[in-house]
Amino acid sequence: MTSTQRGDVGPPSVNADEKTTLTTFLDYLREAVIAKAAGVPDDVARTPGVSSGTSLLGLLRHLTGVEHNWFVWSYRGEGSLRDDELTPDPADTVAGLIDDYRRTVRRCNEIIAACEDLDRPGARTLREAEPPSMRWLLVHLIEETARHAGHADILREQIDGAVGR
């Protein structure tokens, strides 16, 4: 069981090695997003909280697709691209999307753990550039997840006043 499954992940030690620092911060942010969506009724989590249409379900769906697309499809060169749009499907539920996110995170963490050289480029890229290194992917996913964790913070506060991690 990974720390992301248990929900008890915290920031890394200030003296951890680079890979541990990056992966622990990413897991910390992943769990923050999950915590903001957990316990919110499906209809409320589906409702956009801002005029752009962003909702908690949309954020979970988007981050699941982004993780899969960068780590599994791009870096590992496996499978097909997943939809990473912010609009949830009508059948999406909080529990279902959290489970899917956690499954995707476990797969991505396996890929990260198998990488012994953070400078090694992946198999292909989602951009018009050479395939990025694992280091670039980790930093990019930290940035992406942190940005959306902030969105989730605001949405959750609008829903029920819950603040903090």
Asked if 9 contacts 3 with a C-beta cutoff of 8 angstroms, the reply is yes
5 domain-assigned: no
Q: What are residue 121's DSSP bridge partners?
A: 133
CA dist list (Å): 165 to 3, 74, 110: 16, 31, 26
CA dist list (Å): 150 to 71, 100, 125: 22, 21, 27
Asked if 87 contacts 58 with a C-beta cutoff of 8 angstroms, the reply is yes
Residue 49 tokens, joined: 């909280």
1 domain-assigned: no
Tens digit of pLDDT at every position of the chain (165 positions): 233 344 567 777 788 899 999 999 999 999 999 999 999 999 999 999 999 999 999 999 999 999 999 999 999 999 999 999 999 999 999 999 999 999 999 999 999 999 999 999 999 999 989 999 999 999 999 999 999 999 999 999 999 988 876
145 domain-assigned: yes
- pTM: predicted TM-score of the whole model, two decimal places: 0.91
Q: CATH no. for residue 50?
A: 1.20.120.450
100 domain-assigned: yes
Name the domain count of the chain. Answer: 1
> Helical H runs in 74-133?
94-114
